[in-house]
Amino acid sequence: MQTQVRAGSPEAGWEASPPVCSSRPGGEEGERPFWRDALEPYTHPRLSRSALDLATSVVPYLGLFGLMYLSLSVSYLLTLALAIPAAGFLVRTYIVFHDCTHGSFLPTKRANTWLGTSLGLFVFANYLGWRHNHAVHHATAGDLDRRGVGDVPTKTVAEYRALAWRGRLAYRAFRHPLVMFGLGPIFALVVQPRVVPRSARPRIKHSVLATNLALVVLVGALVWLLGWRSYLLVELPTIMLAGAAGIWLFYVQHQFEDVYWESRERWSYADAALRGSSYLKLPKVLQFFSGNIGLHHVHHLSARIPNYNLQRAHDRNPVFHTVPTLSLADGIRAVRLKLYDEDQGRMVSFAQATADVEQAAPSVRPRRRRRRVGGSGALSG
């Protein structure tokens, strides 16, 4: 079903039906997607506001990093306590980096590239490689036939049942919270970004190598100044907390019960944004540290909106008011969801998938017994 939407002024919002919308990123040939005009006023970065974002992200993070080092001579419990706000500001720094990759944080591509590349050293990320993978994620989110790049690996119930026991065990282990949020931060922030993709373009390969070299120099200098033990005692708890929070944020944005997944033939860019991306309503302090990324439905519909304009865009456009909304508690509960059930059109837990099989089994067994007793003719007619 195609929703008829008329673009209106951003102050008044635009008229819209519930979010079952049409078109791929470019719409039909020659057609301008309905959201472009309505959201265009929010896509312009403001230097003063961007500067404030920097002043309330990377600057306090660096300050807290220094305080954590100084606190080592007092009490490591104090160091760990300081790691909590430091991790929050590191997540906020990651959001600024993320906005740079979308070209939404500063007015020019060159400025976004320079700032994003620099911030990438703080968050252990390669700018060009991350930008490419994340662009693929935006172009394929919710598409069952194009999974695997820039998303949380997700299998359907049918795919999971078809796996051998080793495959099921590996998938269960990967999706376990202790692995995803315990080992995940080290893998996602430290290990995976260091790998040079074989299929990547030469420019991205060179960029990954250059980032790795720059990190060797930066980390080496810090180890030389602080000592390897002090560096690890400060860095590890910070990236573990920030990484776990970041993985959880990314997880709940596209892993909730009624999330949108469709085959390539039926997939819609707008539906993937408005039905496949959650509105995570966090307490204001957590919304601040997460850089408004909980307004993920707005971000996926128009990635050129800087993080500090997402709330205004949501509030002033009624089409966003009926999107899937999660509370903090909902987001925590969503961690139990592991598989997508194509028949039911929803995410389910391993236990739910198993229960569905057991409930369906009785309707199958009597038919098998009748075949054995009465022959093939017993079920005809």
pLDDT tens track for 221-250: 999 999 999 999 999 999 999 999 999 999
Residue 372 in domain: no
Q: Give the pLDDT confidence of 253-292 residue by residue, as tens digits.
A: 999 999 999 999 999 999 999 999 999 999 999 999 999 9
- 347 against 379, higher pLDDT: 347
* Distance from C-alpha of 320 to C-alpha of 18, rounded to nearest angstrom: 9
> What tokens were used for 43?
């896509």
The per-residue pLDDT for 149 is 81
Q: Is residue 20 part of a domain?
A: no
- What is the tens place of the pLDDT at every residue in 117-142? 999 999 999 999 999 999 999 999 99
Q: Tell me if residue 279 falls in helix, strand or coil.
A: strand
Can you give 152-166 as a three-state secondary structure string? Answer: CCCEEHHHHHHCCHH
Question: Average pLDDT in the 183-203 region?
Answer: 91
**Coil vs helix vs strand at 186:** helix
Beta-ladder partners of 339: 155, 348
pLDDT of 35: 77
Query: What pLDDT, on the 0 to 100 scale, is given for residue 232?
Result: 98
Between 53 and 375, where is the model more confident? 53
pLDDT attached to residue 286: 97
Ranking 83-97, 143-157, 225-239 by mean pLDDT, the lowest is 143-157
Mean pLDDT across the stretch 318-344?
Answer: 94
Look over the chain and give the mean of its residue pLDDT values, rounded to a whole number.
86
Question: Does 26 map to a domain?
Answer: no
Place of tokens 């509370």: 327
370 part of a folded domain:
no
pLDDT at 199: 85
Please give the pLDDT value at position 151: 82
pLDDT value of position 372: 38
Q: From the CB of residue 226, how many other CB atoms can be counted at a distance below 10 Å? A: 17
Q: Where are the beta strands (DSSP E) in the chain?
A: 155-156, 279-280, 325-326, 339-341, 346-348
Cα–Cα dist 260/345, whole Å: 8
The helix (H) or strand (E) run that includes residue 133 is helix 127-140
Q: Answer whether residue 23 shows pLDDT above 70.
A: no
Q: Could you tell me which residues are beta bridge partners of residue 156? A: 340
Please give the Cα distance from 183 to 186 (Å, whole number).
Answer: 6
Q: Is the pLDDT of residue 3 over 70?
A: no
Cα 371-375-380 angle, rounded to 5 deg: 80
Q: In degrees, to the nearest 5, what angle opens at C-alpha 311 toward C-alphas 345 and 259?
A: 5
Q: What is the pLDDT of residues 296-311, one digit of tens each?
A: 999 999 999 999 999 9
Looking at the predicted structure, is the pLDDT value of residue 188 above 70?
yes
In a domain, 22, yes or no: no
364 has pLDDT over 70:
no
Share of the chain above pLDDT 90, in %: 78
Rounded CA separation 286/228 (Å): 32
Q: What is the dihedral of CA 327, 333, 334, 337, to 10 degrees?
A: -160
What is the full DSSP assignment across 98-117?
HHHHTT-SSSSHHHHHHHHH
Q: Is residue 65 part of a domain?
A: yes
Tell me what pLDDT residue 362 has. 54
Domain count, the chain: 1
Which position has the higher pLDDT, 343 or 34? 343
Give the number of other Cβ atoms within 10 Å of residue 278's Cβ: 25
Q: Which domain holds residue 304?
A: 35-350
127-140 helix and 76-101 helix, angle to the nearest 10 degrees: 70
Q: What is the pLDDT of residue 124?
A: 97
* Residue 337 in domain: yes
Cα–Cα–Cα angle for 131, 132, 135, nearest 5°? 85
